[in-house]
Amino acid sequence: MAKLYAALVFAFVAATVIVITGISSEARGITVFFRGIVGFISAGLLVYILLRILAAKDIMDFDAFIEAKDEKAMAMVEGEPSSAVDEEIIEEEQTETGEAEPANTGGQAQFEPLSTGDLTRMKMPE
């Protein structure tokens, strides 16, 4: 359904732009109306076909993406600790980027405001 919704949004935006430009150029009302309809249908079909091609090539499937987000949200609501879900998300991101796991320092990090004594001063070259 995400493909259809995205296609409808883009089609509506395209039709709105066509109607506004037609009205501002003082075209006849029937011409503006038909151009808006043609723009709505063509933009909607173009976006829908493009999203179907992206899903078929496994580049990006918006429906699967939304379902995965819904499953994670439902797991959080059903009582699964949020830290487990967060750890799962972090692990997925690290496997995608290939980064190593950060080392644990063993304690809670405390916030310390930056003071002028902590700054490293650089001297101007002479």
**Model confidence pLDDT, tens digit, residues 77-103:** 666 555 555 566 666 656 555 555 555
- 52 and 76 housed in the same domain: no
Q: What is the pLDDT of residue 94?
A: 60
Q: What's the domain count of the chain? A: 2
Q: Rounded distance, CA 4 to CA 58, Å? A: 18
- 49 and 67 housed in the same domain: no
Instruction: Look at residues 21, 20, 18 and name the one whose alpha carbon lies nearest to residue 36.
Output: 18
In a domain, 24, yes or no: yes
CB count in 10 Å sphere of residue 124: 4
Residue span of the structural domain in which 48 resides: 1-60
In a domain, 119, yes or no: no
In a domain, 87, yes or no: yes
- 55 and 40 housed in the same domain: yes
| Percent of the chain whose pLDDT exceeds 70 | 72
- 8 and 34 housed in the same domain: yes
Single pTM value for the model? 0.53
Q: How many residues does the chain have?
A: 126
Mean pLDDT of 56-76: 78
